[in-house]
Structure 1
């Protein structure tokens, strides 16, 4: 057993569960035990039970009885509720040599990635080291072979859910405010034709809402793999959070750290998406890459390069895929933030109609899934999807999905709670809306509290091309307290989030 290169006399410590959540696995030790074992507060340790070791953060507390280890609930669950453990100081993980070579830009092989990802999942790397690995991808790009090794390693270190039939999915790389609600239209539309689409979604990384954040406004999104298997076969469609499952668990670690440092490296994005899809046995997949100013991908050349990366890996992994480059130059629909987006998606499904951009995108993506599944011939999927949305079939299926996910299928848009503090930005002049800044809307919505505060966000009253008069509402900010509201207002004004230009540019003579 690896003990970080240190020889320490084994000592069995009785386990004392502790209800504490500091965002990582922690073991609390009595100062005398810590000194005897050579463990320093704040260092990483290996907690061993039944021959299996997991990494954790060491904390020293005199209130812990000597001979005991107070272990956080999350770590104890991973250790299968052990009654006693051994705790050893950690030096460097076994895969540390591979880790250093990756930081230097050297290529790793399949074995390197398997050991490295296994050590990450076991908790042997801290957040700073994992962040360094993620940042390294911005400076030393992964080769196609390395990316394939990384994806397979991420899948192999977790569980795989099998359904015994073809599994479909649609996934957007995100990066455009208001985009998280699209899946709430696509999934029930696809499922209404009988295709199996158990969508596992992430929470927001750099945006004001992830699909899981938005769906959670309407229904529970945290389930076990066994529950998901049963629910998916019953409803044919789900929208759940993938982070609660042991599916490609390294991805959940990567996403948590990416969110904290505000990056989403392209290769890691591809690895994260495809690893999660493979873990759900997805074999037919539509990828959406929004393109436009202020999106993750700002030009078509970059989007085409990213699409090629997806298609190349899909070919290697046996996934049938189509990639759609979609308009991402301004927010999707009018709502930004979990509650506001859930409200807009629900309104659209109930009416069978909604913001043109939202309808266009949802029908296009659902249509591509239909074409992959042979439900519609190539080029005819869009019209079928729009018909299902207009007819109410998609809404009927969405009600089933909400119910199976333990939500209220009778929920109405007005039932959704929005933050109590509001501010409406008005047009300073007559004119035409010439642009809406994605970056400004994203930053302001996050400053208002989204996605952690699901009731916070921004509701737009205009889109590019709208004519406005002085005093007309442009957008409304929702926040739960004045401090957040004022910060969001400051960002909107500083960035000039909504540009209004006069109709007359010049008079002659």
Structure 2
């Protein structure tokens, strides 16, 4: 990074804002004197500590000689109100030429990739440059070597965890509404079988809920690394959010941009998943890859290609891996949205029955983990996992996990609040459900407010193959906001996510 001149000293104010990046608010005259404008990056220093921050200018928020730092920036520097910090403009990052090379489709060396990721993590790059790096992958795929360089760089720029025993995990690439709740069954089945499964998950990117969003309805997910390690060692299982653990921190930065652009490039997705797992100490991993109309992966040939990418990269990184191609042609279970999914998962665990797509998928994935561990012979894992589920051991383990993460282990499904504003669409005719549009269900659930409104989402009263009568309920929308529900209802009518067909298609002439 090129630096010009000596830093200028400013008195500090700390402001209560957090936009997931370091910010510094400067008086316009001070910014002009330093030769910086809004969205430029400056180096802020206090003693031997330093942080890059994005400039915001104002003529009234701060006076000349005073800067306002976001809480994130102040925390990084250990700054208190009234301290003096140095502020210095910075030149082009050392990795800028490598970034331009990537944008033009050039192949990056390991050193070039590492320099880009380091500058991303250090806050040198703004949102525009990071978005450009991600979008470039949609039009110019990373080579296999480049991808391995990216994964290693993402791991090396963050923290790593080690356990005394083998660590297992299951991760879904997502893309199917209702999928987030599967882990709430799979993890306790695996943990109840005596295997260590400290699962860290991201929040939703394009879906109505991520596993962290759904588990957060029942217990804390913003655990510290020490808490995760302690809980995992004590009860074998954890369901936590990985966003504040400094595990592959570049990934959290990338996900924040991906979420806003509603993109998830395949190779970046592979890097995201494998870097987080390696940083968490995972040695044996099952990847769930839903395949079907409306899923991220639409067909078997695409699935085989992506599975091969996971398997080759895992081999390079020393991971034992199984990739499960699962049915993704319609939502998993009957709900989509954090609170609704938490209810459905809890009902299944307590009653040991429920939607076949939910239970069968959770048992299948847990069985594959048992086979990876050697606890089950190939082809026998699913039966053993189902027995653990049906015996009630999975529910008892889930209660232990919830309690260890600060939740109420005796919570019942009816205790979980869902959105108070609802709308139910009824079937216009007698017939059978022939199609449910995954993408439309996700869009409608998000229009209701999911995942940020925990009680928002949708409930499906009929799945593909179900017969319905005219007037039977097809789908119910939930929201905590009347205006959001109104918007979602309009979207529901436009997208028609649940298709019912009778015997008569049309008459001629």
Give me the TM-score of the superposition, normalised by structure 1: 0.96
Tell me how large the CA RMSD over aligned residues is. Answer: 1.6
Determine the structure 2 residue equivalent to 1:195. 195
Q: 2: distance between equivalents of 1:167 and 1:415?
A: 33
Q: 1: distance between equivalents of 2:18 and 2:49?
A: 23
Deviations 1:306-352 (A, max 9, x none): 00000000000000000000000000000100000000000000011
- The Cα shift of 1:188 comes to 0.6
Q: 2: distance between equivalents of 1:481 and 1:505?
A: 38
SS at match of 2:222: coil
SS at match of 1:273: helix
Structure 1, unmatched stretches of 5+, are none
Deviations 1:151-210 (A, max 9, x none): 000000000011121100000000000000000100011000111100000000011100
- The Cα shift of 1:114 comes to 0.9
SS at match of 1:22: coil
Which of 178-187 and 17-26 deviates more?
A: 17-26
- The Cα shift of 1:65 comes to 4.5
- The Cα shift of 1:57 comes to 1.6
Match of 1:76 among 74, 77, 98: 74
Alignment of 1:67-466 (within 5 A): 67-81=65-79, 83-466=83-466
Q: 2: distance between equivalents of 1:80 and 1:160?
A: 23
Match of 2:13 among 7, 12, 16: 16
SS at match of 2:243: helix
Determine the structure 2 residue equivalent to 1:54. 51
Q: 2: distance between equivalents of 1:354 and 1:264?
A: 31
- The Cα shift of 1:493 comes to 1.8
- The Cα shift of 1:52 comes to 4.9
Q: 2: distance between equivalents of 1:22 and 1:10?
A: 25
Alpha carbons 2:198, 2:238 under 8 Å: kept? yes
- The Cα shift of 1:63 comes to 4.2
Alpha carbons 2:46, 2:79 under 8 Å: kept? no
SS at match of 2:428: coil
Q: 2: distance between equivalents of 1:167 and 1:198?
A: 7
- The Cα shift of 1:506 comes to 8.5
Q: Does 1:33 align with 2:21?
A: no
Deviations 1:437-485 (A, max 9, x none): 1111011001111011110000000010011100000010001222211
Call closer, same or farther: CA 1:144–1:478 in 2, change over 3 Å.
Answer: same
Call closer, same or farther: CA 1:36–1:353 in 2, change over 3 Å.
Answer: same
SS at match of 1:97: helix
SS at match of 1:70: strand
Alpha carbons 2:431, 2:503 under 8 Å: kept? yes
Alpha carbons 1:53, 1:122 under 8 Å: kept? no
Determine the structure 1 residue equivalent to 2:39. 42
SS at match of 1:244: coil
Q: 2: distance between equivalents of 1:64 and 1:505?
A: 68
Alpha carbons 1:294, 1:329 under 8 Å: kept? yes
Q: 2: distance between equivalents of 1:302 and 1:246?
A: 32
Call closer, same or farther: CA 1:506–1:88 in 2, change over 3 Å.
Answer: closer
- The Cα shift of 1:70 comes to 1.9
Alpha carbons 1:462, 1:474 under 8 Å: kept? yes
Alpha carbons 1:448, 1:479 under 8 Å: kept? yes
- The Cα shift of 1:60 comes to 2.8
Alpha carbons 1:8, 1:37 under 8 Å: kept? no
Q: 2: distance between equivalents of 1:224 and 1:68?
A: 34
Alpha carbons 1:432, 1:503 under 8 Å: kept? no
**Deviation >4 Å, runs of 4+:** 504-508
Deviations 1:277-323 (A, max 9, x none): 01101000000000011110100100110000000000000000000
